[in-house]
Amino acid sequence: MLNHYLKISPEVSKALSEGKPVVALESTIIAHGMPYPKNVETALAVENIVRKNKAIPATIAIIDGKLCAGLSKKEIQHIGKLGQKVVKVSRRDIPFILAQKITGATTVASTMIIAEMARIPIFATGGIGGVHRGAASSMDVSADLQELANTNVAVVSAGAKSILDLKLTLEYLETYGVPVVGFKTDEFPAFYTRKSGLGVDYRVDNVTDLAKAIFTKWDLGLNGGVLIANPILKKYQMKFEPITEAIEKAIQVAEKKEIQGKKITPFLLAKIEKLTKGKSLDANIQLVYNNAKLAAKLAIAYSKQTI
């Protein structure tokens, strides 16, 4: 039945059938995370990084009502040019976007769903969504967290976006049994910076040990994802005080304008980019590159795991 909805590119299909490592990549970062043409350049560069590290990239999106694992260059350019005109798709949106046979950009949550359908266990993104500041009254909690609780995909990210309440995000993940693993770090990274003041559940210093732990989790039947926190490289991270100040200002503006729901994250990222004169976008791009490289290596290590 799923074959009716799922379209896997020939390159990705061949790799999966041969047991080769594949890395899932999201498309919301293309449509809603960066301006054109930087979004397309970054998406293609990320795919090249995965290939250079000897894995196959599978950028995921919904194209003309099909769940697509593996996009062509033309499809990536199409999504990039349309930008925010493309529907942002999370779990709840999938059936409606498919029924209308339109194009949608997948969030972390929906990318995980499609990756699991396609049997791609490793996914690289920038940063996950989480518990928004003020969630005690707004109840604004990203669907990414529930997907991590239920879907068998390991997500490599630079932590959670620092526009969020990181402490509550980690508490939520703990409640639902999602392991938060620091790759070569004891501290949970805060997207633009390596610093958050918060710890991780486990520190792992090599991809082989990480792959073994992920394989063991699922082999035991313990369903749900794993969050791999991979800090932005030191030379690209932003200084803690200036980026914190920019985030606070952006949040204040969003509150004044009463921006909520799907629109909040793209708005805040764009506002922070403006306040930092483009430095936050540069950091965003570099952390995505770093995550793609680690995900490729992890996919290779995971492909070698056996009972």
Q: Which residues contact 140 (CB under 8 A, 6 or more apart)?
A: 131, 132, 134, 260, 261, 264
For 44, 83, 94, 300, the CA distances from 64, given in Å and listed in that order, are 21, 16, 12, 32
To the nearest 10 degrees (0 to 180), the angle between helices 279-303 and 207-219 is: 70
Give the 3-state secondary structure of residue 266: helix
Active site annotation includes 161: yes
Q: Residues 161, 217, 293, 297: which is the catalytic one? A: 161
Tokens of 288: 């995505």
Catalytic residue among 26, 116, 147, 273: 26
Dihedral (CA of 124, 284, 42, 203) sign: negative
Is 26 a residue of the active site?
Answer: yes
Dig out the tokens for 10 from the structure: 């020939």
Residues 6+ apart with CB under 8 A from 69: 6, 7, 8, 9, 12, 24, 58, 60, 114, 115, 117, 118, 120
Closest by alpha carbon to 9, among 66, 90, 89? 66
* Cis peptide leading into residue 37 (ω within 30°): yes
Q: Do residues 83 and 32 touch, judged by C-beta distance below 8 A?
A: yes
Q: Which residues is 7 bridged to in the sheet?
A: 68
239 DSSP 8-state letter: P
Residues labelled as active-site residues: 26, 161
